[in-house]
Amino acid sequence: MAVTAQPALDAYRVRADFPIFEQTIHGKPLAFLDSAASSQKPRQMLEAMVRFYETSYANVHRGVYELAERATAGLENARERVATLLNAPAAREVVFVRNATEGINLVAYAWGLSNLGPGDVVVATELEHHSNFVPWQYVARRTGADFRVLPLDDSGELRLDALDALVGGGRVKVVAAGIVSNALGTVNPIETLARWAHEHGAIVVADAAQAAPHRTLDVQALGCDFLALSGHKMCGPSGIGVLWGRAELLEAMEPFLTGGHMIRSVGLERTTWGELPHKFEAGTAPMAEAVGLAAAIDYLEAIGFDAIERHEHELTAYALGRLSELPWVTTFGPPLERRAGIVSFDVDGVHPHDVAQVLDFEGVAIRAGHHCCQPLMRRLGVTATNRASFYVYTVREEIDRLVEGLYRVRKAFS
Amino acid sequence: MAVTAQPALDAYRVRADFPIFEQTIHGKPLAFLDSAASSQKPRQMLEAMVRFYETSYANVHRGVYELAERATAGLENARERVATLLNAPAAREVVFVRNATEGINLVAYAWGLSNLGPGDVVVATELEHHSNFVPWQYVARRTGADFRVLPLDDSGELRLDALDALVGGGRVKVVAAGIVSNALGTVNPIETLARWAHEHGAIVVADAAQAAPHRTLDVQALGCDFLALSGHKMCGPSGIGVLWGRAELLEAMEPFLTGGHMIRSVGLERTTWGELPHKFEAGTAPMAEAVGLAAAIDYLEAIGFDAIERHEHELTAYALGRLSELPWVTTFGPPLERRAGIVSFDVDGVHPHDVAQVLDFEGVAIRAGHHCCQPLMRRLGVTATNRASFYVYTVREEIDRLVEGLYRVRKAFS
Amino acid sequence: MTTGEFDQLYRELILDHYKNPRNHGLLDPADARAEGQNPLCGDEIAVTVRLGAGDVIEEVGFEGRGCAISQAATSMLSDLVKGRTAGEVALMPKEELLNELGIPLTPVRLKCAILGLGVLKLALHKAKGTPLPEEWGTAAKDLVLD
Amino acid sequence: MTTGEFDQLYRELILDHYKNPRNHGLLDPADARAEGQNPLCGDEIAVTVRLGAGDVIEEVGFEGRGCAISQAATSMLSDLVKGRTAGEVALMPKEELLNELGIPLTPVRLKCAILGLGVLKLALHKAKGTPLPEEWGTAAKDLVLD
Ligand SMILES: Cc1ncc(COP(=O)(O)O)c(C=O)c1O
Ligand SMILES: Cc1ncc(COP(=O)(O)O)c(C=O)c1O
């Protein structure tokens, strides 16, 4: 990757594109350090959606008239845009869903219900977000397959060495793994995992919800079979996500949601399914949201994913350095080299809710909780952590304000 | 209902709220007669969404900080707003989904997979949109239940007299019926159907996609057990719909999508589900879309549903009258008294695609196709019809332009 | 309507093929036959073919319900392919037919225009095992089984 | 921070109950016991109760992991309910506890504040069959089974 090809990201300039920063919170400027939960929105994306509604709106695909053609073009261009982002072999492999969670459920139901049974093994990691954990646990229960969890080492990295023992002689059919952990920022070795999975005849379902906003993704290089992401975490609107899947798999699968648009022909006795991607897109699509997502991708690519990754890396290094000055703060997670822009930490003797609450009074927004990672929380021996996460609009001063705020937290609760 | 309580709808004033009409199409003002497929959007709704993104955006429910509290309030106020619209006993019975299609699939999967089996009968009507037809056909096939179709009479009304014979001695478990037909405008007697269904121990799944935009709905008076609708057809954004269900049923049901947010606790061995409505809302909700839907409901209620119904009734009477002047045009569907603002018709010897295409050159947008109602099309003996549909912004002149356009169609193809 | 727009799409030749379709009516017996639907609008076309030595197409007969574009395109296609081999037609790019039509088509109307070509390729595939367009994926299997 | 906002939420009494929780530690033996979690943040509270004649609450003991609000609220609650009957506590409106807390709570923090009350009601329900809050619906069954 030509890491030097893109100019450095100027977060102050980027920030000016985000209207949310034009207000004060509790009388302070907003330091939004919760982008891992959901990102803020640039004006450019909002304008693209509104323009679509104001000039090109109609239901898609079936209309013969001008507005319907424009709306269809908007949706299908967005599909092409996503396919390019992911280096997908074909746009028809891109299915629009509501969020990463729905994308993973689509695979768990439409692939899992027909391909899993007693004697099969489904593997998820202890690091997973509930969204790539519970659907597999649930479909395993429904089909009688075994659900097993790949453990972590003490710094929150996957114990790939435990894989063989984990499946024993079992027939492993699915390996579900996140690319980047939302709780610790761990960047997982998906390529290695995928090689192992394919050697054992399993499919790999990659959760890219936390990777897609921050780094270049290439489904062919990753070697995964399915990949899910959410628009709202990458400057796009709520209400849209993507499931990418290999065409052969998608074509061989049963449909998931059925109804309007996804059919070829409906008879009283028998119904045949439509072609990809329509087969998986029942009902009216999130059209304006797709247009917004495409604009968000344009926005991020104009900044450049390499520049984004470098920017967040620098912020993370800075944050880890500053937090290490506080002896009463413990950070969790892997070393900087294998960590994305996420820092999870604990403040001695103060519950994360109280930390986050006091920081909020300072205008600093962080997340406190289990981050939808209860298995990981148990592994760490906590019920919750504090999490600060960074994005294109994050500046160093916000990290300084976080640290100052933590001193106040310490003072208030000691 | 106090039909005279609301002032008449002034469609010219309403129209000024819709930016889409500020353009010309093929050099003509836009006559948008395809609202049954999806409605256009008032400025008020777009502004509410943009304001939410610009001032109150964050991921909902778990955040302790100010923006997260505002976003959560936005989503939950929208839920209350929908509950009031439907006269639902409780807001926790309102589940946000992508569209009516997903809402119906939720019931088909989460209720159907666990409650249907061989010997059970599932009834849908021949008038159904594919979205309330195929999910039942599909889940019946998966569970071994019998799928049966309630026939229509020649004017496109349900043959309620055929119900008893249809189920014979079978154990009827589900009756799936639309409140208003999107293809013919037929207003169905759901209350009667629900009484019959409950006497037989079946649940009633009402498709309100085509009713909610145009008339007052009351789930308690209708007597249905589930009801689904789409935001995009009622001045709301794409990407959001609603499933309402009776609390006892929703609580007794398995979940549908699993993952983040919908759990109480996730263990390696066992996971317990959260409370209503969260149990059915896995992953990040369509938050801004919910805020937009609430604004759309506010907008429609300010006009008044009685006024809307009267306005559309007058337009429909006018359209049926004008079309009856054309001996080479055949209209389908029930008499005016039991018809919503939808007129389906055929032009002698000209295929609907060609009709719609020529009308588009005149700036008149109508729908041509099977309207996701292939069973009905077969019953009518056609593959497609032309459909004009009306909404709050429709004015009589647009119907005059439709009729003029049809003369041109006739001339061009004779 | 600006007469221009109408005349561009429904140019004289198109209307002529629509009103007087060539090779209309199904052949019986036939060496290859298939039916297809446009799932977007429900339009249907059935095509029959008689083949001569070397699998050269000698006769084509079709019937269908659909718009002027789909019917005229199939009519023009039926003239166009006579004298070609099944293998040639299997590989015939849709652009060739679209050139012949010579009208501006939006994505939705494009589907109308190429429905007949798809059904013809399917008929030849079923009878002679000629390849199907790659972009159909395995969805084509569905069609074949019907 | 405007000192006002902090002081409103974490007023002295709250911080005192948090730092010096009353009735801390589980009772053994106990006549009623239950555990509960706040699904939003994973916080946990366990409550034990000793009942006297007429099911009057004589002693309460609790343990938990959670924020200052949830721990202080449970501590205050444990004092508040002593001397009341199980039946009275089952019907105790959450507003009574919130009044006692006397701080402004957003919806998310409200869940923290009433976690202990919910667990106490659950303990009494399991031991004595007292009613559960109606708004819990059948989701409560899940809790009971745990
Ligand atoms: C009667 C009816 N039911 C269901 C639907 C499906 O709605 P959606 O595509 O928004 O899921 C529609 C709209 O197309 C409809 O008109
Ligand atoms: C790693 C990871 N996976 C999945 C999800 C679920 O995303 P969504 O809620 O948009 O479905 C998230 C975000 O919360 C995440 O961080």
What's the average model confidence in pLDDT over A53-71? 93
pLDDT class of C145 with cuts at 50, 70, 90: very low
Two tokens, residue A410: 């310490």
SS (H, E, C) chain B: CCCCCCCCCCHHHHHCCCHHHHCEECCEECEECECCCCCCCCHHHHHHHHHHHHHCCCCCCCCCCHHHHHHHHHHHHHHHHHHHHHCCCCHHHEEEECCHHHHHHHHHHHHHHHHCCCCEEEEEECCCCHHHCHHHHHHHHHHCCEEEEECECCCCCECHHHHHHHHCCCEEEEEEEECECCCCCEECCHHHHHHHHHHCCCEEEEECCCCCCCCCCCHHHHCCCEEEEEHHHCCCCCCCEEEEECHHHHHHCCCCCCCCCCEEEECCCCEEECCCCHHHCCCCCCHHHHHHHHHHHHHHHHHCHHHHHHHHHHHHHHHHHHHHCCCCEEEECCCHHHECCEEEEEECCECHHHHHHHHHHCCEECEEECCCCHHHHHHHCCCCEEEEECCCCCCHHHHHHHHHHHHHHHHHHC
A401 pLDDT more than 90:
yes
What's the average model confidence in pLDDT over D10-35? 95
For B303-362, the pLDDT digits (tens) are 999 999 999 999 999 999 999 999 999 999 999 999 999 999 999 999 999 999 999 999
Q: Is A372 a catalytic residue?
A: yes
Predicted pLDDT at B2: 46
Closest atom, ligand 1, to C-alpha of B103: 11
Q: DSSP secondary-structure letter at D35?
A: E
C141 pLDDT more than 70:
no
B1 pLDDT more than 90:
no
Please tell me which residue of chain A has the smallest CA distance to B28: A66
Please tell me which residue of chain B has the smallest CA distance to C106: B357
Q: What is the mean pLDDT of chain B?
A: 96
Q: What is the mean pLDDT of chain A?
A: 96
- Cβ within 8 Å, pair C1-B358: yes
Predicted pLDDT at A265: 82
- Cβ within 8 Å, pair A370-D44: no
Question: Whole domain around residue D40: which residue ranges?
Answer: 3-145
For B65-88, the pLDDT digits (tens) are 999 999 999 999 999 999 999 999
Task: Describe chain D by its helix, strand, coil percentages, rounded to 5.
Answer: 55, 20, 30
Task: Describe chain A by its helix, strand, coil percentages, rounded to 5.
Answer: 45, 20, 35
CATH number for the domain running over B48-301: 3.40.640.10
Please state which CATH class domain B11-38+304-413 belongs to.
alpha beta
For CA atoms D110, D113, D116, D120, give the dihedral sign.
Answer: negative
Q: What's chain D's Rg over C-alpha atoms?
A: 15
Q: Which of B224, B235, B372, B373 is catalytic?
A: B372
- Cβ within 8 Å, pair B61-D106: no
Kindly list the partner chains of chain A, i.e. chains with 3 or more CB atom pairs below 8 Å.
B, C, D
> Would you tell me which residues 266-295 of chain B have a C-beta closer than 8 angstroms to some C-beta of chain D?
272-276, 278-279
Predicted pLDDT at D146: 32
Predicted pLDDT at A116: 98
pLDDT class of D38 with cuts at 50, 70, 90: confident
pLDDT class of D2 with cuts at 50, 70, 90: low
Predicted pLDDT at D5: 85
Distance from chain centroid for Cα A204: 16
- Count structural domains, chain D: 1
Higher local confidence (pLDDT), B144 or B271? B144
Pick from A200, A256, A247: which is nearest to A219 by CA? A247
Higher local confidence (pLDDT), A7 or C41? A7
Q: What is the mean pLDDT of chain C?
A: 89
Amino acid (one-letter) located at C140: A
For chains B and C, count residue pairs whose Cβ atoms are closer than 8 Å. 56
Residue C8, domain CATH: 3.90.1010.10
In angstroms, the Cα distances linking A49 to A270, A287, B49 are: 39, 9, 10
What's the average model confidence in pLDDT over B44-55? 98
> Hey, where are the domains in chain B?
11-38+304-413, 48-301
Two tokens, residue B268: 């390696």
B218 pLDDT more than 80:
yes
Which site among B353, B378, B414 would you substitute to test the C interface, given the most C Cβ atoms closer than 10 Å to its Cβ?
Answer: B353
Predicted pLDDT at D40: 72
Which of A162-166, C100-104, D140-144 comes out lowest in average pLDDT? D140-144
Backbone φ, ψ for residue B337 (5° rounding): -60, -30
Q: Is A329 helix (H, G, I), strand (E, B) or coil?
A: strand
Predicted pLDDT at D138: 57
Higher local confidence (pLDDT), A336 or A270? A336
pLDDT class of B4 with cuts at 50, 70, 90: low
DSSP string computed for C23-73 = TBS--SS-SEEEEEE-TTT--EEEEEEEE-GGGBEEEEEEEEE--HHHHHH
pLDDT class of A1 with cuts at 50, 70, 90: very low
Which of A341-350, B259-268, C37-46, D10-19 comes out lowest in average pLDDT? C37-46
What's the average model confidence in pLDDT over A34-62? 96
Chains D and B touch (3+ CB pairs under 8 A): yes
Predicted pLDDT at A5: 64
**Sheet containing D57-65: order of strands:** D32-37, D44-51, D57-65
Predicted pLDDT at A54: 98
User: Model's pTM, two decimal places?
Assistant: 0.96
- Cβ within 8 Å, pair A284-B53: no
Predicted pLDDT at C2: 55
Closest atom, ligand 2, to C-alpha of A100: 11
D142 pLDDT more than 90:
no
Pick from A71, A65, A36: which is nearest to A185 by CA? A36
* Closest approach of D135 to chain A, Cα-based (Å): 25
Half-sphere exposure of residue A393: CA atoms within 13 angstroms, side-chain side: 23
Predicted pLDDT at A63: 83
Give the nearest partner residue to D6 out of A27, A361, A383, using CB atoms: A361
C139 pLDDT more than 70:
no
B50 pLDDT more than 80:
yes
Check residue C55 and give left, alpha or beta (phi > 0: left; psi -120 to 50: alpha).
left
A3 pLDDT more than 60:
no
Q: State ipTM.
A: 0.94
Predicted pLDDT at B21: 98
Query: What ligand is nearest to the CA atom of residue A259?
Result: 1
Determine the distance separating the centroid of ligand 2 and the alpha carbon of A18, expressed in angstroms: 22
A396 pLDDT more than 50:
yes
E strand spans, A208-266: 226-230, 241-245, 263-266
pLDDT class of B184 with cuts at 50, 70, 90: very high
What's the average model confidence in pLDDT over A251-270? 90
For B300-315, the pLDDT digits (tens) are 999 999 999 999 999 9
Ligand 1 pocket, B100 CB below 6 A? yes
Query: Contact, A207 vs A104, CB < 8 A?
Result: yes
Query: Contact, B144 vs B195, CB < 8 A?
Result: no
A185 pLDDT more than 90:
yes
Ligand 1 pocket, A62 CB below 6 A? no
For B98-107, the pLDDT digits (tens) are 999 999 999 9
Determine the distance separating the centroid of ligand 1 and the alpha carbon of A284, expressed in angstroms: 7
